[in-house]
Chains A and B, each alone.
Chain A
Amino acid sequence: MATTVEPILDNTIEDPEHRAPLVLGGLDYAGVTDKVCSVWEADKAPKVWWLVLILAISLLMMLGACIGHLLMKGVGVWGNNNPAYWGWPIVNFVFWVGIGHAGTLISAILFLFRQNWRTSINRAAEAMTIFAVICAGTFPGIHIGRVWVFYWLFPVPSEHLAMWPNFRSPLLWDVFAVGTYFTVSLLFWYMGMVPDIATYRDRAKTKIRKMVYSLLSLGWTGSARGWHRYEAAYVILAALATPLVLSVHTIVSFDFAVSQVPGWHTTIFPPYFVAGAIFSGFAMVVTLLVPARKIYGLQQLITIRHLENMNKIIMATGLMVGMAYGIEFFISWYSGVAPERFAFYNRAFGNFSWAYWIMVSCNVFIPQLFWFKFFRTNTIAMVVICIFVNIGMWFERFVITVTSLCRDFLPSSWHYFHPTGVDVMMLIGSFGLFTTLFLLFCRYLPIIAISEVKNVIPVKSDEH
């Protein structure tokens, strides 16, 4: 009989001799299952859930209306102008794709590094990844102008068009990168969820639920041979997803960096974008999980230690991003190339300097608070900091995209950028889409990887 060790309440205390427990309150196997399933088995969803869902759906409808308006009127409804031909839609795209990096990072990279604490948070993070990529995909989708011929992006043989996509274009690489990322994340997420859906299937009370979850769980029995192949597949998918997750934001950074625009063309962009993506993605995970664990009473599974670890990663990646800002500035000076030097001077002291300093404050200065344990372990403080981080990361993409375009090589085309109401409503609306999907996920799918958490439950080892 697996007996649990005595409950520990604070697992944030460092002791090099012992690893801190990752599941608190002495939960055993059945306890974990009951805890996670209680979210789904509750007859009524919590009031907060309904409240937020209604708000989110109304925002989602606003997004839908904006897209309809855009299709009727054309892309002129945005603030995009000449020279800022990439305005908010692309900023939003890069922002959401960045957020969509944390999930696969937690599932794949932390898995390969054997970071056991990932088990409680990976499911929600993966789900968040997929929803963020959906939000991200929306923006370039509607940015192509003639949405109804979107399939021209893919190499589909066509007698009408009599031509193929240009495979040397970074924008086409984006189609492949984001498409692959979405597909692989979905497969990874779903595969990881099958054993837990089987748990839901075996606990389902109503006939409809039983049928739906039976189909989704594919008849999973948890046989040892099944687990063996499942684990092998999980390792392979993790090994595939790790370079993939790096490649996605790398390719997004190529969109900018292969050009010659000063401020866009700098070779550090690939790793710098990836670090920034992880930074914003983890911030979003913290922002979502802190209220979720509170509402659903999952504090014993998503412990303060999990949150603290995430905050440490946020701080580390924030410092990497800050270092990249520094290298960019130094090299732009060192290069001696006049447009390059002007581009960076203009960022910090030009007409968009307000955006630049918002970015630096939110991304570099504010996360420094995580040096203090209080801010790493206090849930309210960390959510506030994480929201600032996401604001900062949105502004980072804004600064890169708009500032550089508005001050390109030709001073005669210099211009300012003003967003329109549609721009603003679309950004807010995309949060509606994201939140709606996330809330539905919380209600109908296991938000914690039940079978994986059981592996890290502290048990007295009587068999060794």
Chain B
Amino acid sequence: MTEKQNQETADQKLVGLLAQFEDPGSLVRACNEARESGYNKIDAYSPFPVHGIDPALGIPRTILPFFVLIIGLTGCAVGLGMQYYANAGDWSPLFPGYNFMISGKPFFSLPANIPVTFEIVILSSAIATFLGMWALNRLPRLANPLHRISRFKRVTNDKFFLLIETKDPQFKREETESQLSQWGASVVEEVNEDLTDQQLPSWLQLAGLMTALILLIPPVLIFRAEGMTSRKPRLHVVPDMDWQEKYKTQTLAPNLGDEQHPNFLFVDGRAMQEPIPGTIARGDLYTDSEYFRGIKSGTESFATISTAGVHTGLQDAAHQDDSHQDEAAKDKPAEPAKDDPAAAPEPDWVTQFPANVHVNQALLERGQRRFNIYCSVCHGYAGNGDGLVNARAMALAASGQAQWTAAKSLNDPETKKNPVGRIFDTISNGRGTMGPYKSQIPVEDRWAIVAYVRALQGTGIKPTTMTKAVEKAVAE
């Protein structure tokens, strides 16, 4: 160290004079003396915060609390906003919020959001305090000329130091040193900055840059994966949870015995038992025939009481045998309808909307939206039987690649004669090649569609250019 002091070479620069004191009291006194002598680029160093050093050095109160307050209030706003966005706002096109309905509580209710908001305020304020304190102290600073002085190592143990910097206008090498000794310093030493080790070695810089770049790869990959959809099956970490050994509903249970002594789960070999005949599950009793089936009340047969709205076990049992055939024939087009209307006499359809269906603007709009979703693909937006599926199927049928019965135009004079009950039944159970929609469309929506169909039929819109294009395609 001594040789360093002596050589005032080009790569050494005097930073200041460091005086050592033995106890906090003399340090405070020296600080007072130094300040009174007009020095202002001074700092004291001690193993613990010395009482009374702040006024002695004239240290102003730090702005840290205000900084933390601002960050804390920002955290409060951000925390509340985040919760509102995530749980109450579904308007964002990118990552929209998600409305949970839980125990009937509102989507956003302040009491329930206080705890998380509070924690975010504390977290943001604490991080602001921590980082703000180091930033204001200009730390971390690993290359400090003070650390080159072996005597200074005791600043973290039991010695007290005062540094007067050369930047101070009052600083005069000899005079300052004698002043320091006069104020009670036990040792005064020069602090020199080594200009050669100001910069990091170039290989270290490069290595640091590379590491930073490599560290970026995993988050980028994760964000990429999170932001994209994938056709690959997901990773199955616990296969026996994802593929459980269980019997699916309405399947045959395997024979647990042997050929001669079959041993099934249930006597009929099913994996699931059917409801007891004559019983109806809770919520499945549809007594209002006009509303649920479109048939005038009092005229339906007993067998249809619980069947027309929803499939029940009874009906399923009746069709159990051909359900497998259905599976096999699923891709085949257009089988003749199972419930041949000719076989049974036409029920007495209602001609007026049931009492609890209120035809109004809202219902028609609802019906229009449902119609456009479910029906327009075949029947066309105007109900002229010119939907896109129909057009494509007709084109395929024309070239012999498929069989297709053209979708009906709802504006057909014959079709227009159908009572509303029959239209409802058609939607519910299908007719001809049209499939049933009762499992997709709730009852009230079916009536909305019926109302809309009636409105469409009233408009009398004629086939449009679209239909002409279809005809052209068929002709080709």
Contact = CB atoms under 8 A, between A and B. Distances in A.
Nearest to B23: A2
Interface in B49-77: 49-50, 53-54, 57, 59, 61-62, 64-65, 68
B137 A229 contact: yes
A457 to B, nearest CB: 10
Q: Which of A163, A179, A241 has the most CB of B within 10 A?
A: A163
Contacts of B241: 74
Interface string A135-176: 000000000001010000001111110111111111011001
Interface stretch (A79-87, A211-219, A348-356, A379-387): A211-219
Contacts of B57: 224-225
Contacts of A191: 130, 133
Nearest to A160: B226
Given A183-B123, A229-B133, A233-B129, A167 B87 contact: yes
B100 interface: yes
A176 B129 contact: no
Given A155-B82, A180-B119, A184-B123, A168 B53 contact: no
A214 B144 CA distance: 11
Contacts of B53: 224, 227
Contacts of A326: none
Interface string B16-45: 000000111100110100000000000111
A87 B373 CA distance: 49
B123 A166 contact: no
B123 A168 contact: no
B48 A247 contact: no
A236 interface: yes
B49 A455 contact: yes
A148 B59 CA distance: 52
B44 to A, nearest CB: 4
Contact of A463 (B28, B61, B140, B156): B28
B156 A183 contact: no
A305 interface: no
Contacts of B426: none
Contacts of B119: 173, 176-177, 179-180, 244, 247, 251
Given A232-B65, A233-B130, A463-B28, 12 more contacts: A1-B22, A165-B86, A167-B113, A170-B115, A184-B126, A202-B154, A232-B133, A236-B68, A237-B129, A240-B125, A241-B126, A463-B25
Interface of A: 1-2, 28-30, 33, 71-72, 74, 146, 148, 155-160, 162-170, 172-173, 176-177, 179-180, 183-184, 187-188, 191, 195-196, 198-199, 201-203, 214-215, 218-233, 236-237, 240-241, 243-244, 247, 251, 254, 450-452, 454-455, 462-463
Interface of B: 22-25, 28-29, 31, 43-50, 53-54, 57, 59, 61-62, 64-65, 68, 82-83, 86-87, 94-95, 97-98, 100, 102, 105, 109, 112-113, 115-116, 118-120, 122-123, 125-127, 129-130, 132-134, 136-137, 139-144, 146-147, 153-158, 226-229, 237-238, 241
10 contacts: A33-B158, A163-B98, A173-B115, A218-B142, A222-B46, A224-B45, A229-B62, A233-B64, A233-B133, A247-B115
